[in-house]
A and B are shown apart, each in its own frame.
Chain A
């Protein structure tokens, strides 16, 4: 979903306060909305993204960096970080998320390098193998994100429909 947990919570609260509350004259509905806002404020103070999927992505990136390091042996390439990048005792989702984002940028630099003329001229087989490996690994990382993405509600969101059944999980 959103990269910033707090920003997302702020957006939800603002949507409820600015658009739902002023358009509801039903006291029961307003009570429900204000309770939801209260609960969201609580979540903002106490909750965060789940660290598990982020950790899984960082570990996958680390495996990819190690594999690229082996394949690129002897070639001039962008810097590859030493792995593992996460000491065993880190559970702060914000720190892991920052590492994941940094890993994405480094993977991008390596992919651009591997598919560039310079790397292909230096060792065409290794460059092609690294490009394949990186594309596969980045797609595998996207699969981890997809596993935590709810079913699309595009039709309801675009049309503001009441009917049609809310998407489940």
Chain B
């Protein structure tokens, strides 16, 4: 977009507000919803936002009713102006339903509505899990032994997820047509990157085609979490008690989750998982726990793909700020990360070729 064109478009557009979802309205609609599904008048207390993210909005609250007493619950709402809107609640619902009681810890699902019901936006409600969520980019002050315990559980849980036969779960319905699921995912990000934005990155255009043309056959098509990383789980008393954020879950190559989890961005810039587990150790542990042989070539491919996805996500943010006038300065700052991500992507492609 030229400077003049940008100016003209600014003249006619009202800045978008990051908060399109009214918290008070959500709270009263939530009370109506829980009263209806439980058949018992339910009051919402201690209601508050837990995050100020760009995607699903998370609320923590207590549902109080005569029938069930006080229950600590979590509500997640897919806002109409989120980065990846319009949202489907199905991947998260499938995950919480089919993984409950498996070797993959997830919060218990309480309710979900794709059409929004009383709340008006796609949402689900699940149990609150006690514990802490570690920050992926901070050098944690936890002692290394503690972190090693957590990192090993993190790998073993991933292996448990990949051992599940997706054909026996609702995830099987995520398969779209005859196209290989992993190619479908790449095509989705290529389409996202092809949308008009202020900047065009030649290496992303070319690299997207390379990824599509060189995508390896998976050793086994498994459930892929899609955002499996430090920061997307809850730990309590040295134990991972829940894996979170299943919104990008799909069927695909298990190497995808492994590569994503080991990205230095999510490990305080370290090449070691959680800053403590060497790459070879991670692969060895994963292979033994999952029974899936890790291919160096596939892992290199998915490390490049991880950076491609990261670039595509950043460009969604850039587009939201530049084109859709979504006024959140964090989105503008994400644009400044693009040169370093694209360069890292080029190097990763070189290693994968």
Please determine whether A4 and B6 come into contact, CB atoms closer than 8 angstroms: yes
- Count class of interface residues, chain B: 35 or more
Known pairs A11-B332, A108-B206, A115-B210; A94 contacts B3 (CB<8 A) = yes
Please determine whether B322 and A2 come into contact, CB atoms closer than 8 angstroms: yes
Please determine whether B10 and A10 come into contact, CB atoms closer than 8 angstroms: yes
Known pairs A94-B4, A146-B343, A155-B135; A2 contacts B198 (CB<8 A) = yes
Q: In this assembly, does B346 line the interface, its C-beta being within 8 Å of a C-beta of chain A?
A: yes
A-facing residues in B300-353 (Cβ within 8 Å): 318, 321-322, 325, 327-330, 332-333, 335-337, 339-340, 342-343, 346
Q: In this assembly, does B15 line the interface, its C-beta being within 8 Å of a C-beta of chain A?
A: yes
Interface string of A152-169 (1 = CB under 8 A from B): 111101110000000000
Residue of A nearest to B203 (CB): A138
Q: In this assembly, does B202 line the interface, its C-beta being within 8 Å of a C-beta of chain A?
A: yes
Please determine whether B327 and A112 come into contact, CB atoms closer than 8 angstroms: no
Residue of B nearest to A3 (CB): B198
Known pairs A3-B198, A108-B200, A158-B137; A146 contacts B340 (CB<8 A) = yes
A149 to chain B, nearest CB (A): 5
Residue of B nearest to A5 (CB): B3
Q: Chain A contacts of B138 at CB under 8 A?
A: 155, 159
Chain A facing B: main interface SS: helix
Known pairs A111-B202, A152-B337; A14 contacts B343 (CB<8 A) = no
Please determine whether B3 and A4 come into contact, CB atoms closer than 8 angstroms: yes
A56 to chain B, nearest CB (A): 14
B207 to chain A, nearest CB (A): 9
10 residue pairs bridging A and B, Cβ less than 8 Å apart: A3-B322, A4-B1, A6-B10, A7-B6, A7-B325, A11-B328, A93-B3, A134-B202, A146-B343, A152-B337
Binding site for B on A (CB under 8 A): 1-8, 10-12, 14-15, 18, 93-94, 97-98, 101, 104-105, 107-108, 111-112, 115, 134-135, 138-139, 142-143, 145-146, 149-150, 152-155, 157-159
